[in-house]
Structures are given as structure tokens and as C-alpha cells.
């Protein structure tokens, strides 16, 4: 109890400086901050304050490979143009190197700043299996347990399905991505898929709180518990337990194969979906395909203390790198999500509106959605719209 009051009083003192993260925690988790604090005890004391100095935030930027560097350059360009008070600390990660120094530097930078924007880091199949996926390493080390992707049909993009509005919450740290594999007998490989009660409860809790906060009515758990009875059975059980604490939200479950089939026939039936790692990967890619492709949807990885924003489908886009044809929308919208996270709502809305106007009204589309615009055309158009509607910008 003493800890509770001590922490409350500390929050009052630090309130002006805590702007970014604490406030956002309240926003995301819905229920009072104090109840969350009670769960975590004294650990809140050692979380560094947000990297906000003189009103300017510092955010880690990891360019990655493929189309990552050019898209992130555009993000920086747009932010600079719109006078967004964010400075980027660029950390390069070389995917061709076997040593983990690069990614460790990146992780340290994110721990320092609390927020990051990243491109996808390539995982070369030809390297030894001991070289772990850098993206995966980042997610598990920082415990970014929730991957959130919001797929919405955009009016200006022609797709086969309309009126899609699905929020996908995917467990981001365990499941099939544990990277625990071994070859005991030659020619026989065992890959371990780990499901834990703690992580399943945590992601289910996140899903329901997010659903409540956004006013969503239904949460669907996607699983394969008829085959993986213990593993996905545990996940399903945890979801049901958490669901019982949210009587205002309907909970149902669906097997992953049926889910994917329903998604391609009638995706409008889904509202919020929560699932383990691999199914999340597949389902989020299907949904991204349904709303127009990988170039349109931003994704966010939330942990308790950190948040990393990227494109939802995590494509490296090697084949379209440096050709000025990549769609910058996903990365720019990810930048807007980051601004929302930093509580710079005005800037976020300004840039988001400009992006949506470009997409829907001027119909300036890149090749992946059937147009002929280049990346720089789209970015220029966005900046022009910001200039015409926004308060103050640098010269065009």
C-alpha cells in the first residue's frame, strides 16, 4: 500500500515530464493506472522517463534493408517539413554480419528512447541457423508482446472486398517463433512451439482492453486446438478466462483454417481478432492483401515499456528497392501511429489526413495499388496538402 501511494505521489511530481509514456499507458490499458501499478509493484521505478528534452522527442530509427532506408528518409522529410518536434537517432543494423553487436546497439537505443520506427531487417536463409532473425531478437528482448494491426478499407483504393474493419492482435514473442529447434537424429528436426499461460493471459488482456477502449463489440480467438490440444488449448482457455471479465464484449473462437476461408469470403464479419504468433502472421497478411496490399497498412509492436512502429507485413521489398516505386503509405501511417503514441496528436492527424487525401481524393497511387505514381510523387503530394491545410511548415 505504501508503495502504491509513493508511486502515486511520484507520478504527480513527474507528471509534466511523463507526458509520453505514462499517459499513453493509461490510454491503452483503459483501466486505472494504479491497478496496473499494483500488479507490477515497484518495477515502475526503474523505467526511464520519456526522451523528451526541450519539447522535442528523440526516437530511434532503424532503416533496415530493401525499401526501408528510402521510405524512412521520406518519413524524415515529411516530419521535417511539417516541423514535427521529433529527432531521429539513426541506428544501422547490418543483416549480413553474424555478430549481434549491431542489433544490441539498436536495442540499447530503443531502451534509451522508448520508441522506435523501423524498417524490416533481412534474414538471409543462406547464413548459419545460429544467426537469429534480427527482427525477432528485437521483439523478444524488448518484450514487445503485442503486435497490433488495424486493417481498414480505404475508399480510394479498389479492392474486391469493401467495408473491412478488422483489428488484429497477435502475440509477438512466443509461439512458433521461439527459435528453439534441434536435430537430435540426423534428418529429423524438432521445432518447439511454446505457449505459456502468462503470455497468453497477457495478450488476451491486451486484446480485451483495447477492444473496450475502442468500443469494439466482439473478440475472436483464432486457434488450432483440435490438433494442438495442449498448446492452443491453453491459449483458448486463457482467452476465455479473460473474456469472463469483460461481459460487454462478445467472445468467440474459430479454427485458423476456417478463419482464413471466412476472411476471403466474408471478411466483414470480423471485428477484433486475437491469436498466437504464426496464425497472426498469416491472418494479418491475408487481411493486408484484402484491403489493398502490403504498402498500405501500418503495424505497431507494443510492450510494457517500449513501442516499435513499422509496416504491418514487415516486407523488406528487396526487388523494388531504390526504384522509387515503393508505396510510402504504410511507413508514413506508422509514423503517424508513433506520433499518436508520443501524444503529438495534432501532427499525427495533420499528416494522416494528408495521406488519406492523397490516397482517396487525388488518387495518386503507386504501382502496387494499380497506379503509376512514384514514391516521391506521393510524398510531394502529401507535403503539398500539409502545406495548404497545416499551420506552419518549412518552405516547400
Which residue is associated with the grid cell 497506379? 371
Q: Looking at beta carbons only, is 56 or 124 nearer to other proteins?
A: 124
Task: Pick the piece of the chain touching other proteins (CB under 8 A) from 45-53, 78-86, 274-282, 345-353.
Answer: 274-282
Q: Kindly tell me which residue out of 25, 58, 313, 375 binds other proteins, with binding defined by CB under 8 A.
A: 313
Instruction: Compose the 81-120 pattern: x for residues touching other proteins by CB under 8 A, - for all others.
Output: ----------------------------------------
Q: Kindly tell me which residue out of 11, 73, 104, 133 binds other proteins, with binding defined by CB under 8 A.
A: 133
Instruction: Give me the residues paired with residue 87 across strands.
Output: 58
Q: Kindly tell me which residue out of 187, 215, 247, 391 binds other proteins, with binding defined by CB under 8 A.
A: 187
Angle ∠(190,196,198) on CA atoms, nearest 5: 160
Q: Does residue 285 touch other proteins according to CB under 8 A?
A: yes
- Cβ distance 44 to 357 under 8 Å? no
Q: Does residue 286 touch other proteins according to CB under 8 A?
A: yes
Q: Does residue 289 touch other proteins according to CB under 8 A?
A: yes
Helix (H, G, I), strand (E, B) or coil at 212: helix
Helix (H, G, I), strand (E, B) or coil at 302: strand
Instruction: Give me the residues paired with residue 90 across strands.
Output: 61
Rounded Cα gap, residues 188 and 44, in angstroms: 45
Task: Pick the piece of the chain touching other proteins (CB under 8 A) from 61-69, 172-180, 328-336, 382-390.
Answer: 172-180
User: Packing angle between helix 197-213 and helix 231-243, nearest 10 degrees?
Assistant: 40
What is each CA distance from 197 to 37, 168, 235, 254, 275, in whole angstroms? 21, 20, 7, 20, 13
Q: Does residue 308 touch other proteins according to CB under 8 A?
A: no
Q: Kindly tell me which residue out of 1, 39, 125, 163 binds other proteins, with binding defined by CB under 8 A.
A: 125
Cβ within 8 Å of residue 101, ≥6 positions away: none
Nearest to 337 by CA among 16, 27, 17, 10: 27
Instruction: Compose the 17-56 pattern: x for residues touching other proteins by CB under 8 A, - for all others.
Output: ----------------------------------------
* C-alpha cell belonging to residue 229: 490440444
Q: Kindly tell me which residue out of 42, 94, 191, 376 binds other proteins, with binding defined by CB under 8 A.
A: 191
Identify the sign of the CA torsion 302, 306, 307, 313. Answer: negative
Q: How many residues does the chain have?
A: 396
Task: Pick the piece of the chain touching other proteins (CB under 8 A) from 17-25, 103-111, 195-203, 332-340.
Answer: 195-203
Q: Kindly tell me which residue out of 104, 141, 196, 380 binds other proteins, with binding defined by CB under 8 A.
A: 196
Q: What is the DSSP code string of 256-299?
A: HHHHHHHHHH-GGG--EEEE-HHHHHHHHHHHHHHHT-TTT-EE
Q: Looking at beta carbons only, is 50 or 119 nearer to other proteins?
A: 119
Q: Kindly tell me which residue out of 11, 73, 104, 123 binds other proteins, with binding defined by CB under 8 A.
A: 123
Rounded Cα gap, residues 387 and 389, in angstroms: 6
- Cβ distance 129 to 181 under 8 Å? yes
Q: Does residue 256 touch other proteins according to CB under 8 A?
A: yes
Q: Looking at beta carbons only, is 26 or 131 nearer to other proteins?
A: 131
Q: Does residue 260 touch other proteins according to CB under 8 A?
A: yes
Secondary element (H or E) of residue 138: helix 134-141
Q: Kindly tell me which residue out of 213, 252, 257, 346 binds other proteins, with binding defined by CB under 8 A.
A: 257
Q: Looking at beta carbons only, is 11 or 179 nearer to other proteins?
A: 179
Secondary element (H or E) of residue 241: helix 231-243
Nearest to 359 by CA among 323, 313, 336, 328: 328
Q: Does residue 229 touch other proteins according to CB under 8 A?
A: yes
* C-alpha cell belonging to residue 82: 511539417
Task: Pick the piece of the chain touching other proteins (CB under 8 A) from 30-38, 251-259, 302-310, 318-326.
Answer: 251-259
Task: Pick the piece of the chain touching other proteins (CB under 8 A) from 88-96, 125-133, 144-152, 354-362.
Answer: 125-133
Which residues in this chain contact other proteins in the complex, by CB under 8 A?
Answer: 123, 125, 129, 133, 136, 160-161, 176-177, 179, 181-183, 186-198, 224-231, 233-234, 236, 256-258, 260-265, 278, 281-282, 284-286, 288-290, 293-294, 313, 315
Amino acid at each position: 500500500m505504501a508503495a502504491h501511494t509513493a508511486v502515486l505521489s511520484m507520478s504527480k511530481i513527474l507528471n509534466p515530464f511523463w507526458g509520453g509514456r505514462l499517459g499513453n499507458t493509461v490510454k491503452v490499458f483503459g483501466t486505472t493506472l494504479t491497478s496496473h501499478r499494483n500488479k507490477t509493484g515497484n518495477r515502475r521505478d526503474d523505467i526511464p522517463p520519456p526522451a523528451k528534452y526541450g519539447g522535442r522527442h528523440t526516437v530511434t530509427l532503424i532503416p533496415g534493408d530493401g525499401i526501408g532506408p528510402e521510405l524512412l528518409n521520406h518519413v524524415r522529410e515529411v516530419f521535417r517539413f511539417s516541423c514535427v518536434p521529433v529527432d531521429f537517432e539513426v541506428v544501422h543494423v547490418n543483416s549480413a554480419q553474424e555478430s549481434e553487436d549491431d542489433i544490441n546497439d539498436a536495442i540499447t537505443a530503443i531502451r534509451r528512447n522508448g520508441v522506435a520506427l523501423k524498417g524490416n531487417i533481412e534474414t538471409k536463409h543462406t547464413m548459419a541457423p545460429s544467426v537469429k532473425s534480427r527482427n525477432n531478437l528485437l521483439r523478444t528482448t524488448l518484450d514487445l508482446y503485442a503486435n497490433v494491426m488495424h486493417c481498414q478499407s480505404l475508399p480510394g483504393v479498389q479492392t474486391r472486398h469493401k467495408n473491412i474493419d478488422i483489428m488484429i492482435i497477435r502475440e509477438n514473442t512466443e509461439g512458433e517463433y521461439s527459435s528453439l529447434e534441434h536435430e537430435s537424429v540426423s534428418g529429423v528436426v524438432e521445432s518447439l512451439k511454446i505457449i505459456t499461460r502468462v503470455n497468453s493471459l497477457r495478450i488476451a488482456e491486451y486484446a480485451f482492453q483495447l477492444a473496450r477502449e475502442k468500443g469494439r463489440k466482439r473478440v475472436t480467438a483464432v486457434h488450432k486446438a483440435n490438433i494442438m490440444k495442449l498448446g492452443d488449448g491453453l491459449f483458448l482457455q486463457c482467452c476465455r478466462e479473460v473474456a469472463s471479465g469483460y461481459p460487454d464484449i462478445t467472445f468467440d473462437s474459430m479454427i485458423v483454417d476456417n478463419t482464413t476461408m471466412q476472411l476471403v469470403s466474408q471478411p466483414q464479419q470480423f471485428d477484433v481478432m486475437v491469436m498466437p504468433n504464426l496464425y497472426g502472421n498469416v491472418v494479418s497478411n491475408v487481411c493486408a492483401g484484402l484491403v489493398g496490399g502490403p504498402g498500405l497498412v501500418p503495424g505497431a509492436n507494443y510492450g510494457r515499456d517500449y513501442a516499435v512502429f513499422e509496416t504491418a507485413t514487415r516486407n523488406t521489398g528487396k526487388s523494388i528497392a531504390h526504384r522509387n516505386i515503393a508505396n510510402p503509405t504504410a511507413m508514413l501511417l506508422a509514423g503517424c501511429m508513433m506520433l499518436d503514441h508520443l501524444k503529438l496528436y495534432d501532427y499525427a492527424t495533420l499528416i494522416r489526413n494528408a495521406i488519406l487525401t492523397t490516397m482517396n481524393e487525388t488518387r495518386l497511387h503507386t504501382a502496387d495499388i494499380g497506379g503509376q505514381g512514384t514514391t516521391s510523387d506521393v510524398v510531394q503530394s502529401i507535403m503539398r496538402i500539409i502545406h495548404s491545410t497545416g499551420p506552419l511548415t518549412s518552405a516547400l
